[in-house]
Amino acid sequence: MVTPIRRPRPPRRRPAFSLRQLTVSFGVLAIGVTGVGLTLRKAVAAAGAHPGPAVLVGLVVIMGLAVLLRRGRRGRAAVRTVPQGRMSAASVTVAGERVPAPPVEEVAPGPVADVDAPPPEYVDPRPVELDDYAGMDADAFEEAVAGLCERDGCGEVQVVGGANDLGADVVAVAPDGRSLVIQCKRYCADNKVGSQDLQRFGGTCFTVHGADVAAVLTTSAFTEPAREYADRCGILCFDHDDLVGWASGTGPAPWE
């Protein structure tokens, strides 16, 4: 904030001495004093004869004089007061001169939210086909798993499932160079993969197919005996939730 600086007042000029004006002033003063003296004399004489009205008149005169004195003080105070006024937004006073104020940068209003607009629809980050694994047939499910392997950098991906597959449905080379063998079990949600399925796969995945990474993928779940056997043999169990996590990118791939 810039405080305006008051301009210095010019020095007052003393009026020239006038004998005529001095004589007139003394004459007026003498007449006033004489009049006041005669008035007071008559007032004192009247007070002796009528004290009540005299006191009342004296009080009125005193109150009138007090009012006149108060108004005179207020008037002199108002004359001495220098009005500041409101500072102009376009200019300010510095050292007695008008200086333009700096321009005010206008800020563009932001977008106004439409309260009546419908909320944005929820978009599932997962591909649409993730929830369709259980609806696929066995061949389509094997092709979908092979597609996930190719998407995540596996090489030499092949779908070898069939009547004489010896437990291997998808074979590939993982991005780190290890041999990957996957068995696909497209089961319903109430049909879990049991330990016998794991035992048949465990008898061929390492010895016949030479897997470095062996995994069983299913659209359902595994029984506890099946998981215990898989842990002992080093086979990875991917149930429906693991499969969805791998497909959506929120979970690891079998070789990870």
Question: Per-residue pLDDT for 209 more than 80?
Answer: yes
The reported pLDDT for the residue numbered 6 is 56
The string of pLDDT tens digits covering residues 68-93 is 667 656 655 544 544 444 444 455 55
Question: Per-residue pLDDT for 65 more than 90?
Answer: no
Tokens at 214, concatenated: 């062996």
Question: Per-residue pLDDT for 231 more than 70?
Answer: yes
**Residue that wins the pLDDT comparison between 9 and 175:** 175
The reported pLDDT for the residue numbered 147 is 93
Average pLDDT over residues 60-73: 68
Most confident of 18-22, 102-106, 187-191: 187-191
pLDDT category of residue 135 using cuts at 50, 70 and 90: confident
The reported pLDDT for the residue numbered 10 is 55
pLDDT category of residue 152 using cuts at 50, 70 and 90: very high
Residue 161 backbone zone (phi > 0: left; psi -120 to 50: alpha; other: beta)? beta
Question: Per-residue pLDDT for 207 more than 60?
Answer: yes
- Give the Cα separation of 132 and 186 in Å (integer): 11
Total residues belonging to the chain = 256
Cβ atoms of 223 and 105 within 8 Å: the answer is no
3-state class (DSSP) for residue 211: coil
- Give the Cα separation of 63 and 69 in Å (integer): 10
By the 10 Å C-beta count (0-12 exposed, 13-18 middle, 19+ buried), 222 is classed as buried
pLDDT category of residue 161 using cuts at 50, 70 and 90: confident
Question: Per-residue pLDDT for 244 more than 70?
Answer: yes
The reported pLDDT for the residue numbered 95 is 54
The reported pLDDT for the residue numbered 167 is 81
Tokens at 236, concatenated: 């990875």
Q: What is the DSSP letter of 96?
A: T
Closest CA to 33 of 41, 21, 22: 41
By the 10 Å C-beta count (0-12 exposed, 13-18 middle, 19+ buried), 102 is classed as exposed
Cβ atoms of 198 and 216 within 8 Å: the answer is yes
pLDDT category of residue 131 using cuts at 50, 70 and 90: low
- Give the Cα separation of 41 and 48 in Å (integer): 11
Average pLDDT over residues 193-210: 92
pTM tops 0.85: no
**Residue that wins the pLDDT comparison between 59 and 44:** 59
- One-letter amino acid at 103 equals P
pLDDT category of residue 30 using cuts at 50, 70 and 90: confident
Cβ atoms of 135 and 129 within 8 Å: the answer is no
